[in-house]
A = this chain, B = another copy of it.
Amino acid sequence: MTSPETITDPAKPVPHVVIVGGGFGGLETAKRLHQSRVRVTIVDRHNYHLFQPLLYQVATGGLSPANIATPIRAIVRKQANCEVLLAEVTGFDVAENRLLLADGELRYDVLVLAAGATHSYFGHDEWGPLAPGLKTVADATEIRRRVYMAFETAEREPDPEARKAMLTFVIVGGGPTGVELAGALSEIANHTLKQDFRHINSQDARILIVEAAPHLLNHYPEELCKRAAEKVRSMGIEVHTHTKVTEIAPGFVRLATSDTEFVVPTETVLWGAGVQASPLGKKLAAACGVETDRAGHLPVTGQLNIVGHENIYAIGDIATCLDKTGKPLPGLAAVAIQQGAYVARCLSNSPQHNRSVKPFRYKDRGTMATIGRAAAVAQIGKRQFCGFFAWLLWLFVHLMLIVQFQNRVLILLQWGWNYTTFNRSNRIILGQQPTIEKPRSASS
């Protein structure tokens, strides 16, 4: 086993750190290694880092994909010891220290798996095409297409019942994603599109949030949940807590509370409910001889490596990391970033050997979620905020976090404009040609 002294020996070959995933965790690891005597390769199947916390803004036409996606190469361009590989990872050969790619392979000395998460339909994968989730740029543009097409088809629909279904939006999941989407949809219906149509009133749109737990934003303190729910309701959004989705089919969803069941006719269902780890988690687990949890998260040691594999780390949403009390850490960018920094610190000390380092501890600097126009909830330490001040805080923190200076300015301007004018300039419908199912003779 190599010791710190031998590592700095210039005669030794430079260890190769391969990072899978250019998200918050992977990127932080790479950047923190800029002065270490290692070679770093970031492998990602996209050429960009995605600022996921603002993805709902793309899905609702407030921002363009490029506003929140920065080329990974541009981020690490000045880091001489780092290269970027645009490739799809297909598996792991841990015995030989090889990463298997769709079109080749890559040898590593240290592997950092930071491949993130995808959505989970809780065993109902057939709901996928009917209720898109929000994890990728493609998801966001698909949701944008569906939302704006719903208004377009309603405009041409003569039957009032069918029109009502087209103007009904059901959001499954009352977590931050669901609440953010609902808030933005309410803005779209009540302000952005107010004057755009001639045969419908966009304000007739009905927006429902369906949440199985007793509260929206269930991970926040109860007081904050209640105030958030009040705010959401004041925006005309129906909140159905203690409610489960039992069926999603073309044209309707079936909802169930503990004592009753009802059907909501709708053409647009959005999924913000469950997440599961990237399928790479299960593959690595099999290769390392460990078991993932039900959602596919990899178990890691206090040093964030896989048990029995000191040169393989798993960080961010793909791993389950327990806090002091034994509770798993939440799937937040802040967790991934701190883990990335921690792994980089371990590797700087001793690239292939981390037992001497103190275990990872997450420093909770607070969490926050927006609700809609100028409203948010935030928890910082023991302090709780709800409303405009929380929103300013949210805005400030998110702008500061965005990687590239230009995007920050453009986003601020775009928001400033949207805020003053209720406009959403990115509401173009791209992708698949509009298919308007029910023909209507638009008479003269």
The verdict on A429 contacting chain B, using a C-beta distance below 8 Å, is yes
Within 8 A of B (CB), among A178-222: 193, 195-199
B73 touches A196 (CB 8 A): yes
A198 contacts which of B67, B83, B421 (Cβ < 8 Å)? B83
**Interface assignment of A425: CB less than 8 Å from any CB of chain B:** yes
Interface hits, A376-410 → B, CB 8 Å: 404, 406-407, 409-410
Tell me, yes or no, whether A444 is within 8 Å of chain B by CB: yes
- The reply to whether the CB of A138 lies closer than 8 angstroms to some CB of chain B is yes
Tell me which of A44-52, A314-322, A351-359 binds B. A44-52
CB distance from A411 to the nearest CB of B (A): 10
Instruction: Report A39-98 residues with CB < 8 Å from chain B CB.
Output: 41, 45-48, 64-67, 69-71, 73-74, 77-78, 83, 85-88, 97
Cβ–Cβ < 8 Å partners of A407 in chain B: 425
- Residue in B101, B137, B413, B436 whose beta carbon sits within 8 Å of that of A103 in the complex: B436
Cβ contact within 8 Å between B413 and A47: no
Q: Mark A88-121, 1 if CB is under 8 A from B, else 0.
A: 1000000001000111111111000000000000
| Interface flag for A163 (CB, 8 Å) | no
Which residues of chain A (410-444) have a CB below 8 Å from chain B?
A: 410, 413-414, 417, 421, 423, 425-430, 433-434, 436-444
Given contacts A66-B428, A74-B423, A103-B437, 17 further A-B contacts (CB under 8 A): A64-B426, A66-B425, A70-B425, A73-B193, A73-B196, A73-B197, A85-B156, A86-B429, A86-B434, A104-B156, A104-B441, A404-B425, A406-B414, A406-B417, A407-B425, A409-B413, A410-B414
Across the two chains, which residue of chain B brings its CB closest to A64? B64
CA distance A428 to B74 in the complex (A): 11
* CB nearest neighbor in B for A444: B107
With an 8 A cutoff between CB atoms, is A310 at the interface?
no
A436 to B440, CA, bound (A): 45
A104 and B442 contact, CB distance less than 8 A:
yes
* Contact (Cβ within 8 A) B45 A107: no
Instruction: Report the bound CA distance from A83 to B197 in whole Å.
Output: 7
The answer to whether A152 and B103 touch (CB under 8 A), given A64-B65, A197-B73, is no
Of all chain B residues, which has the CB nearest A199?
A: B83
